[in-house]
A and B are shown apart, each in its own frame.
Chain A
Amino acid sequence: QLQESGPGLVKPSGTLSLTCAVSGGYLNSNNWWSWVRQAPGKGLEWIGEIYRSGTTNYNPSLKSRLTVSLDQSKSQFSLTLTSVTAADTAVYYCARVGGATKGPFDIWGQGTMVIVSS
């Protein structure tokens, strides 16, 4: 089970921070843990991901503003996106990549809506 949490409203130029709680003690398993978003009326966009070792991969269009981190002790991983604009308004999902690195997103959180507005 995955569960996103964080502020639903962020001011322009501010920082968006979300956390994904991973139940079942699976955060230390052989999986990548990803963030995906969907802006209103748009398609799914992969944001970035982290492995249990702390290795990260980021969408190049967001890389300069993005940090994905891991807290094994709390069984959660997080997303931090700086200098946000209205274009970052979206539903944000955390998801697990199942099996091999090239595997599918097999478990998803329910998603959390983030609005960037003053």
Chain B
Amino acid sequence: SFVLTQPPSVSVAPGKTARIPCGGDNIGSKSVHWYQKKPGQAPVMVINYDSDRPSGIPGRFSGSNSGNTATLTISRVEAEDEADYYCQVYDISSDHRVFGGGTKLTVL
């Protein structure tokens, strides 16, 4: 089945930009969704369809998707952004949904 690869961790200083990659074979041909997961809370969708930001999500969150890598970008990082982030796609060839392994964002 389709595999999504994320780095286990990313660290960034407050006010800087964090970029979280999600790799997959020709992932640019798929729609990628991103979720923020904090301990004890349900996941929250922060980006859908590669780059669309749901209402209520700060404009600091953006996404892109091309070739073999999708990227979640968080600008002007704040302490509250510290969380695990997961990318996710629907694999039409298998009718399965797939999550990346998740990336822990640490705000220094």
Q: Number of B residues contacting the other chain (C-beta, 8 Å)?
A: 28
Known: A43-B86, A44-B37, A57-B96. A106 touches B48 (CB 8 A): yes
Contact between B95 and A105, CB atoms less than 8 A apart: no
**Number of chain A residues whose Cβ lies closer than 8 Å to a Cβ of chain B:** 24
With contacts A109-B42, A110-B42 known, is A102 near B102, CB below 8 A? no
Interface of A is mostly: strand
Are B37 and A102 in contact, with the CB atoms below 8 A? no
Binding site for B on A (CB under 8 A): 34, 36, 38, 43-46, 49, 57, 59-60, 93, 97-98, 101-106, 108-111
Task: Give 18 new A-B contacts, CB below 8 A, not counting A57-B96, A104-B45, A105-B88.
Answer: A36-B43, A36-B99, A43-B84, A43-B100, A44-B35, A44-B43, A44-B102, A46-B96, A57-B97, A60-B1, A98-B48, A103-B90, A104-B88, A105-B33, A105-B45, A106-B45, A106-B54, A108-B43
